[in-house]
Structure 1
Amino acid sequence: MGPVGKPDPELHEETLVSLPLDARKMHTFEHIGSLAAVAQSFTPRKTRSRLLMSIYIVLIKAKINVLLPFGPLAVILHYLTGKQGWVFFFSLIGITPLAERLGYATEQLACYTGPTVGGLLNATFGNATEMIISIYALKNGMIRVVQQSLLGSILSNMLLVLGCAFFAGGVVHYSKDQTFNKATALVNSGLLLMAVLGIMFPAVLHSTHSEVQYGKSEVSLSRFSSCVMLVAYAAYLYFQLKSQPSLYNPVDGEERQNEEDVDEEDVPEITLWEAVSWLAVLTIWISILSGYLVDAIQGASESWNMPVAFISVILLPIVGNAAEHASAIMFAMKDKLDITLGVAIGSSTQISMFLIPFCVVVGWSMGKQMDLNFRLFETATLFITVLVVTFMLQEGTANYFKGLMLILCYLIVAASFFVHIDPTSSDD
């Protein structure tokens, strides 16, 4: 038998012309009937049913959605009681499921766009919560809150998220060392060290009083360095997604790939336009709650007798990284550390090389003096953290002991910020 191909349109028209009038009418009616069947699929009843199903999948199905009522409760408390401590606490809890659902909607959208655009979407929306909180705080002139919350996100991803993932994976796979692609880890470590380079020089320039124009040179240097870092991050995305994607393949080659093909069938649960709509709705709701959250930081610090630095560096990032924390641990327990590193270290790279420079550029457009001068204490903390994690990753193996060390390092960092207070004067 010959191959069966697509029918020739011209031959099809000739055949229709040669048919009797009654047969041509019957063919036309069949075509109209098929269009009517398509139109029937968009009836109000089916549209309403699809909408209810989408709401169930996004807002009810996941267990973390039991925390969603805390968001409206925070807004109500803001206007009824004015107790900033409770407003901050309930806003913090209310944003947690929204951040997780935003990640879910991004994954659903990536199923339709393919791996390349999906990677860009994950890079954009993976840290959307931190971006929204930072832009709102920047608009209110709370530059130190922006700097400390972004720094805290990096520290949380590199120490707490990665440490818990290594520890959980090491406990499940107790009898062996888990392995991952060392080349990927080294590329990300190099980008993190470049970010430290860009953040360190404005702080050193300010602290050594070696500026050409006091208070202006560090801002100019920060804006120039931010533009360079954004170019480097764009080159990194091209390198990762287009130029050499084979560099980011799992270490076990075909076996790991076959396992992923079997276990991870990317079947979307919601349609393309539903995913886009939910991204818009969730982003707007996170923006609203972020406003109440940022406004209540100072009041919560006073009512809880807790430094603002601890709230910004430790508490805020835990909320923004809730979804990443859970997914990194889950993949580590499935012995898929390459994905775990992409979640934890990749997110730190996005924040340090994209989000921080982006906030500097946005502050520049707003007329705010946002810079890369994170002060000596925060800069030293970031530098030491990057060094510790780089040494942990250089062997390309992971176990529960390495995970425990990273968690303990994070506890030391958290305790340090609990006793740290920003200098009252502009000069350190």
Structure 2
Amino acid sequence: MLTVVSPISIVGHFLHWSEAIIFITAGLAIIPLAGFMGTATEEIAVVLGPNLGGLMNATFGNATELILAFIALKSGLVQVVKATLSGSIIGNLLLVMGFAMFLGGLRYKEQNFQPTAARLNASSMNLAVIALLLPTAVQYTSTGLTDNTIQTLSIGVSIVLISVYLLTLLFSMKTHSYLYDVGMAENETEEEETPHKPNLVLWVGVLLIVTLGVAVESELLVESLEKATEVLGLPALFTGVIFLPIIGNAAEHATAITVAMKDKMDLSVSVAVGSSLQIALFVAPVLVLAGWIIGQPMDLNFNPFELVAVAVSVLIANSISSDGNSNWLEGVLLLATYTVIGLAFYFHPAIEGLR
């Protein structure tokens, strides 16, 4: 149903409709496009095999968020980009994993997943928090620092994070892939029962078209963002941290929740936590480097309250997932934390503008 919204936002743009209408319709249009992008990526991954396919899934896992954030960065909305990045981490760890554990827990009394992989992911998330925290700490505890100094520091940290991300891919797909095979066992059994040979040319074409569609809708969303938030009465920080990440992550949200309700909690946790890791270790550093290249500086000096929210999210997510077991109450705890954080961002007047 949401696929029909895409033409509406494009028509509205050319007919100069209200910015609020364009903003809402463009946001809704991105949701099914992100779903198609995920499906196309998975189909192509089947043809490429486990190694190349896994790499492609990892690379395109957050393509929607990366496209949306890059267009916002190109438009000079640096504060929105930073808020969206922190919001994506918070949303995946609390909202997505919370709903997955809650709804899965209603159908199954307890659900299990690989605790070793969960602890490794927790350690990686701790590194991400440290890497995001330190540039901000340097800024707030020093005097006389120039923007170029923080930018240079952020570039160095970004290179380290991307290197760690590549090493985590090597670890999970090659040297220690057996730690991550548990969650995929049922999928492999299903594929053996019903052999599936996707049409590579078809799905590559779909991926290219959908990627173009996401870029167009993201452009419309960003163009209408400033005026639309004023008309709708949405606080700037709340829009970036809560609203935009929900749009960009909608397809992954649905996937994680669906597989959890099928008692595939390994895969569900992998989607939720893996997406947060991609944002922190890959998407954020890539945007810092991209901003440097295109002459639109972006650093890792985040709003302190955003970092507090990210740290709290990582803390409770790591605490709940470390034992490799989940139930509906743990899901409620994650959702409650997300609700409290959302309310705090709604009333926090941290950003007067979006740039």
TM-score interval, smaller chain: over 0.9
Are the counterparts in 2 of residues 328 and 343 from structure 1 also a CA contact under 8 Å? yes
**Residue of structure 2 in register with 1:187 after alignment:** 120
Q: 1:229 aligns with which of 137, 145, 161?
A: 161
Q: Counterpart of 2:147 in 1: which secondary structure? A: coil
Matches within 5 A, 1:185-224: 185-208=118-141, 210-211=142-143, 213-224=145-156
- 2:302 is aligned with 1:371: no
Letter of the structure 1 residue corresponding to residue 189 of structure 2: V
**Residue of structure 2 in register with 1:159 after alignment:** 94
Letter of the structure 1 residue corresponding to residue 52 of structure 2: V
**Residue of structure 2 in register with 1:51 after alignment:** none
CA distance, structure 2, for counterparts of residue 112 and residue 292 of structure 1? 34
Per the TM alignment, residue 131 of structure 1 is displaced from its structure 2 partner at its CA by 0.6
- 2:105 is aligned with 1:178: no
**Residue of structure 2 in register with 1:105 after alignment:** 40
Are the counterparts in 2 of residues 206 and 218 from structure 1 also a CA contact under 8 Å? yes
Letter of the structure 1 residue corresponding to residue 123 of structure 2: G
**Over aligned residues, Cα RMSD in angstroms?**
1.8
The percent identity for this pair of structures is 37
**Residue of structure 2 in register with 1:300 after alignment:** 228
Q: 1:280 aligns with which of 208, 211, 214?
A: 208
CA distance, structure 2, for counterparts of residue 287 and residue 114 of structure 1? 28
Are residues 273 and 350 of structure 1, via their aligned partners in 2, closer, same or farther at CA, if it must alter by over 3 Å? same
Structure 1 unaligned runs (5+)?
1-65
State the Cα deviation string for residues 127-182 of structure 1 (Å, max 9, x = none).
111010111111111111111111111111100000000011100013xx211101
Letter of the structure 1 residue corresponding to residue 190 of structure 2: D
- 2:127 is aligned with 1:169: no
- 2:175 is aligned with 1:247: no
Per the TM alignment, residue 318 of structure 1 is displaced from its structure 2 partner at its CA by 1.0
Q: 1:262 aligns with which of 162, 186, 189?
A: 189
Are the counterparts in 1 of residues 45 and 56 from structure 2 also a CA contact under 8 Å? yes
Per the TM alignment, residue 261 of structure 1 is displaced from its structure 2 partner at its CA by 3.6
**Residue of structure 2 in register with 1:325 after alignment:** 253
Per the TM alignment, residue 417 of structure 1 is displaced from its structure 2 partner at its CA by 1.2
**Residue of structure 2 in register with 1:390 after alignment:** 318
Greater shift after overlay, 392-401 or 307-316?
Answer: 307-316
**Residue of structure 1 in register with 2:347 after alignment:** 419
CA distance, structure 1, for counterparts of residue 122 and residue 238 of structure 2? 26
Are the counterparts in 1 of residues 46 and 198 from structure 2 also a CA contact under 8 Å? no
CA distance, structure 2, for counterparts of residue 412 and residue 154 of structure 1? 16
CA distance, structure 1, for counterparts of residue 196 and residue 332 of structure 2? 36
Q: Counterpart of 2:182 in 1: which secondary structure? A: coil
Are residues 341 and 85 of structure 1, via their aligned partners in 2, closer, same or farther at CA, if it must alter by over 3 Å? same
Which entry has the higher C-alpha Rg, 1 or 2? Answer: 1
Per the TM alignment, residue 78 of structure 1 is displaced from its structure 2 partner at its CA by 2.1
Paired residue total: 353
CA distance, structure 1, for counterparts of residue 237 and residue 82 of structure 2? 10
Letter of the structure 1 residue corresponding to residue 63 of structure 2: A
CA distance, structure 1, for counterparts of residue 197 and residue 233 of structure 2? 45
Are the counterparts in 2 of residues 168 and 400 from structure 1 also a CA contact under 8 Å? yes
CA distance, structure 2, for counterparts of residue 305 and residue 243 of structure 1? 50
Are the counterparts in 2 of residues 193 and 386 from structure 1 also a CA contact under 8 Å? yes
Per the TM alignment, residue 246 of structure 1 is displaced from its structure 2 partner at its CA by 1.2
Q: Counterpart of 1:369 in 2: which secondary structure? A: coil
Q: 2:80 aligns with which of 130, 137, 145?
A: 145
State the Cα deviation string for residues 271-326 of structure 1 (Å, max 9, x = none).
00111111110001110110000111111111011112111111111111111111
Are the counterparts in 2 of residues 211 and 217 from structure 1 also a CA contact under 8 Å? no
Q: Counterpart of 2:206 in 1: which secondary structure? A: helix
Are the counterparts in 1 of residues 139 and 145 from structure 2 also a CA contact under 8 Å? no
Are the counterparts in 2 of residues 203 and 373 from structure 1 also a CA contact under 8 Å? yes
Are the counterparts in 1 of residues 37 and 211 from structure 2 also a CA contact under 8 Å? yes
Are the counterparts in 1 of residues 3 and 33 from structure 2 also a CA contact under 8 Å? yes
CA distance, structure 1, for counterparts of residue 143 and residue 213 of structure 2? 43
CA distance, structure 1, for counterparts of residue 247 and residue 269 of structure 2? 19
- 2:10 is aligned with 1:75: yes
Structure 2 unaligned runs (5+)?
none
State the Cα deviation string for residues 88-125 of structure 1 (Å, max 9, x = none).
00001111100001000011101101111111111111
State the Cα deviation string for residues 359-386 of structure 1 (Å, max 9, x = none).
0011111122201111211111111111
Letter of the structure 2 residue corresponding to residue 173 of structure 1: Y
Are the counterparts in 2 of residues 108 and 268 from structure 1 also a CA contact under 8 Å? no
CA distance, structure 1, for counterparts of residue 278 and residue 151 of structure 2? 22
CA distance, structure 2, for counterparts of residue 387 and residue 146 of structure 1? 23
CA distance, structure 1, for counterparts of residue 91 and residue 100 of structure 2? 12
CA distance, structure 1, for counterparts of residue 140 and residue 273 of structure 2? 30
